[in-house]
Structure 1
Amino acid sequence: MTSTAQARTDLRSGHDGVASGSDGLTSVSALKTVLTSWEKRLAAVQDECDSLEPKLHRVAKELGEVDAKVGAKGDAIILPDSRRER
Structure 2
Amino acid sequence: MSTAPHSNSWQQLLDMAGPPDPSMALASAGSGGGDLLHTAKPWNDAAGAAHTLRTDTATAKSALTMAHAGLGAGTAGLQSATTLTTVLTSWEDRLTAVHDECGSLEPKLREVARTMGSTDHGVKSSITGYAAPAPADAKDR
TM-score interval (norm. to shorter): 0.5 to 0.7
Quick check: which has more Rg, 1 or 2?
Answer: 2
By how many angstroms is 1:71 displaced? 8.4
SS of residue in 1 equivalent to 2:104: helix
Amino acid aligned to 2:71: V
* Structure 1 stretch displaced more, 10-19 or 26-35: 10-19
1:16 to 69, 81, 102: 69
Task: For 2:102 and 2:90, locate their aligned partners in 1 and report how far apart those are by CA, in whole Å.
Answer: 19
Mark the runs of 5 or more structure 1 residues left unpaired by the alignment: 78-86
Task: For 1:5 and 1:50, locate their aligned partners in 2 and report how far apart those are by CA, in whole Å.
Answer: 11
CA deviations on 1:21-57 (whole Å, 9 max, x unpaired) are 1111100000110111111111111111121112101
By how many angstroms is 1:58 displaced? 0.9
- TM-score, length of structure 2 as denominator length: 0.44
Task: For 1:55 and 1:20, locate their aligned partners in 2 and report how far apart those are by CA, in whole Å.
Answer: 44
Computed over aligned residues only, the root mean square deviation of the Cα atoms, in angstroms, reads 2.3
Q: Match for residue 101 of structure 2? A: 48
Task: For 1:35 and 1:58, locate their aligned partners in 2 and report how far apart those are by CA, in whole Å.
Answer: 35
More helix by share: 1
Amino acid aligned to 2:106: E
Mark the runs of 5 or more structure 2 residues left unpaired by the alignment: 1-51, 133-141
Percent identity of equivalent pairs: 49
Counting matched residue pairs gives: 75
Task: For 1:28 and 1:40, locate their aligned partners in 2 and report how far apart those are by CA, in whole Å.
Answer: 18
